[in-house]
Amino acid sequence: MDKKDIEHLAKLSRIEIPEEEKESLSKDLENILGHVGQIQSASASLGRDGEVTGEKTKKTAGKLRNVMREDKNPHEPGIYTEKILKEAPEREGDYVKVKKIL
Amino acid sequence: MKIDLKSLTIKKAHEAMKNGEYTPLELADAYLEVIKEKNDELNIFLEIFNDVPEQAKHAGVMFKNGEAGAMTGIPVGIKDNILFEGHKASAASKILEGYTATYDSTVVRKLREAGAVILGRLNMDEFAMGASTENSAYGPTKNPVDPERVPGGSSGGSAAAVAANMCLASLGSDTAGSIRQPSALCGVVGLKPTYGNVSRSGLIALGSSLDVIGPIAMNVEDVEIVYECIKGEDRMDSTSKPESLYERKEIGKPVIGIPRHFLKMDGVNEKVLENFANAEDKLKTLGYEVKDVQLTNARYAVPAYYIILPAEASANLARFDGVKYGLHVGGENLIEDYSKTRGAGFGPEVKRRILIGAYVLSAGYSDAYYNKATAVRDLIAQDYKDAFKEVDVILTPTTAGPAFKLGEKVNDPVAMYLEDVFTVPANHVGLPAISIPSGTVSVDGKNLPLGVHFVAPHQREDLLLKISKDFLKNA
């Protein structure tokens, strides 16, 4: 993990990182990744359902699933508009205002 | 009149208010006085709500009209990531500075309907990322037992408030141990309910497959009363569960399992093991059967967590962009607006975790990290399932050591992560767990609290509460 990696991740995450923080961040991230990398050695015990390859990991990974509701019966339009827009840094009429996107 | 807050319980306060010994307003004032006296030093409450007198008077009316329930007039504090309409909420982050909640969280709605008096919002690690409350953008909270030490975290303010007699009970949130670890380090009781048993509508999300809201109080009876008030399925939270989701077997006296191999890990304090052995002896004296159990994959719970959590947090925290609410720092274009706002608004630990999240989810790494971690999580769940065929609850210490000094671990993220070692497996599996005080150890002339930690099968909070009452009654 070097300065360039940090810059790439920061770009993906939309977080501006000052130059002087990049070095210490890359060290922190390297330590953290070193620690979490321990799970690689769990592969032996992953063998409970047989050998686990990348593909199999994906299949067995995560029994948790999202529960979704039907997108219906909306509330009456506009009843929360003022409350919510009051929190927006910038608004124009009933819209949240952002800079031009081209 | 002087109310003895140290020995007060929710039940006693209820009886006293019912009998007219004091009013909810007088009780709230007694707590506000303690807060006024101690908060400058301990930094526990970030804000006292200015409508406390109004809330308390409303509770008074409920008593007069005979509508008062167990929680009416009870002064509580809420962690700063729980929304209360018309009141500030910041998750102790600069990025939410100035934000006012636009709706009530379900737990707050339930507390309010019950007539509880919400005194204010409690300090925490920014976005609940941390185990010491030192990551708050508003300064660390200090442990009331020893102000040179941390209260634990991330619900450090919630545990410290109860320990310092600043409220009768509080709400925290628990993603890896954030209710239980600070409860242990402050000498109070903290319950992490089954995943989905308490609605998270209106909780500022951290790790959505792990987060749970739960109560902290001085004793198990109070924790139970608050839990009864806030629990229940909620159509505003699609992950909340009906109470009968899991099969429920009749259990007489719970059989206790201890994963001894897990206690022998590096870094577990000798004094903790000694304290734990005493707790075990006591339970045996009380007639509990104790068996050894194996949780083979529990040792991977912390590393797997620090993959899954950053992944989920990096997605959940994408909403803080300077457009919809909170801080806005302008740049040349919209992308720069995002980057500058997030760069200025997030603290160091939040940045670390978002970057780790982006890394473990990125193409080429997601199999080795994220998918592998979710597979490991399933193995941990299977270990518990197997163990619960033999025993009814699983006992470990809550933490590997007592409260540490401010600054001791703050520059070593990995050392801080290991604070969760005994608590995080329950989050991976969604199991209910409780930390209760198990006495103190003497460190540098100070008696520091420790806790023991019970985990039960899904939706068996009843077992946790029963065995905890038994343990503490015979303290």
Look up residue A34 and give its DSSP letter: H
pLDDT for A26 beyond 70: yes
Is A88 touching B (CB cutoff 8 A)?
yes
CA distance B101 to B94: 15
Average pLDDT on A70-82 reads: 92
Pairwise CB contact (< 8 Å): B352 & A25: yes
Of A12, A29, A62, the CB nearest to B352: A29
Of A13, A42, A96, the CB nearest to B324: A96
Domains detected in chain B: 1-257+398-475 (3.90.1300.10)
Closest C-alpha among B464, B465, B466, B461 to residue B232? B461
Give B381's contacts in chain A (Cβ within 8 Å). 63
Q: Residue written as tokens 């000694």? A: B274
At residue A53 the predicted structure's pLDDT band, cuts being 50, 70 and 90, is very low
pLDDT value, residue A63: 58
pLDDT value, residue B95: 98
pLDDT value, residue A41: 86
pLDDT for A43 beyond 80: no
User: Cβ(B449)–Cβ(B402) under 8 Å?
Assistant: yes
pLDDT value, residue B266: 81
User: Cβ(B398)–Cβ(B452) under 8 Å?
Assistant: yes
B-proximal residues of A, 47-76, CB under 8 Å: 48, 52, 54, 57-58, 60-64, 66-69
State the nearest Cα–Cα gap between B172 and chain A, in angstroms: 24
Give B325's contacts in chain A (Cβ within 8 Å). 87-89
pLDDT value, residue B415: 86
pLDDT for A42 beyond 90: no
What ipTM does this complex have?
Answer: 0.91
Pairwise CB contact (< 8 Å): A37 & B354: no
Nearest chain A residue to B315 by CA distance is A13
pLDDT value, residue B423: 98
What is the pLDDT of chain B when averaged over all its residues?
A: 96
Of A9, A10, A57, the CB nearest to B371: A57
pLDDT value, residue B410: 87
Give B338's contacts in chain A (Cβ within 8 Å). 14
pLDDT value, residue A50: 39
- Dig out the tokens for B263 from the structure: 């206690």
CA distance B4 to A95: 53
pLDDT for A46 beyond 70: no
Give the mutation candidate from B299, B337, B341, B351 for the A interface (greatest A CB count, under 10 A).
B351
Pairwise CB contact (< 8 Å): B352 & A32: yes
State the CB neighbour count (10 A cutoff) for residue B442. Answer: 10
pLDDT value, residue A64: 62
CA distance B451 to B441: 11
With a cut of 50, list the residues of chain B below it in pLDDT: none
